[in-house]
Amino acid sequence: MTGIWPPRQYDDPLPAATWQTLGRCNEVGGDETWFPPKGVSSRPAKLVCRRCEVRAECLEYALEHGERFGVWGGLSERERRRLIALRDRYEAAA
């Protein structure tokens, strides 16, 4: 379940100003910032995400769509995997 209300249908046109267009990632860095090669720090991207107004929407998108690479919503691939594991354990216990 998403935090967006009312739920959007995939075939509905998106409004002109979606979270993707409002993200600070559009203003800073290139692919190497948001998709750092192995061994390169993701810290620069995370610092930008800290000040982003749509960080939560970005993270939600990444979790819902199984984004496996890059920094989304201020979290790296490894951090998102941990978050998913914690969520799954919490839901199993409920």
User: Tens-digit pLDDT profile for the chain (94 aa)?
Assistant: 445 444 444 455 455 568 888 899 999 878 899 999 999 999 999 999 999 999 999 999 999 999 999 999 999 999 999 999 999 998 898 7
Instruction: Give the pLDDT confidence score for residue 34 in this predicted structure.
Output: 94
Cα–Cα distance measured from residue 17 to residue 47, given in angstroms and rounded to the nearest whole number: 23
Q: Report the phi/psi class of residue 23: left, alpha or beta, with left for phi > 0 and alpha for psi in -120 to 50.
A: beta
| Annotated binding residues for [4Fe-4S] cluster | 25, 49, 52, 58
Q: Do 53 and 22 meet the contact criterion of CB atoms below 8 Å apart? A: yes
Neighbours of 75 (CB within 10 A): 22
45 contacts: CB under 8 Å, gap ≥ 6: 25, 29, 33, 34, 36, 70, 71
Instruction: Give the pLDDT confidence score for residue 94 in this predicted structure.
Output: 76
| Annotated binding residues | 25, 49, 52, 58
Can you give the pTM of this predicted structure?
A: 0.76
